[in-house]
Amino acid sequence: MLERLKRWAAELNAQLVTLWFCRRHPDAPWSAKLLAALVVAYAFSPIDLIPDFIPVLGYLDDLIVVPVGIYVAIRLMPPQVLESARKEADAWLARRASRPRHYWAAAAIVLLWIAVAYWAWTLFRDRL
């Protein structure tokens, strides 16, 4: 079972790298590019929307949001864009290049958490 999970994780990583190259392809529709960019940014962000230390929910977002986002983004891509991006991704993975990081996505998630915390504070400040 552990081997199967490793293969699944490697396949997800390959699909994410493929989407990374799809989002730059000139023949990809803008809606597919946008979704691919969001999925890749979320997956490669060093900070999760729901932190992993929160029991169950912390890992549930990674196990549901990322695979569903990958599935939908790939379905929106034209076949020739996917073929070209898969070739680029395979070559990139063969070189074992480091994973891209999206620090702007991490900053956006941190700002979102700050906004939620501020909203909660304003909601409860009169009651404290």
Q: How many domains does the chain have?
A: 1
Amino acid at 94: A
pTM tops 0.85, yes or no: no
Range of the domain at 44: 2-124
10-29 pLDDT, tens digit per residue, is 788 888 889 989 988 889 99
DSSP structure string for 40-72? HHHHH-SS-SS-TTSTTHHHHHHHHHHHHHHHH
37-47 pLDDT, tens digit per residue, is 888 887 777 66
Q: What dihedral angle (degrees, nearest 10) is formed by the CA atoms of 2, 4, 97, 71?
A: -130
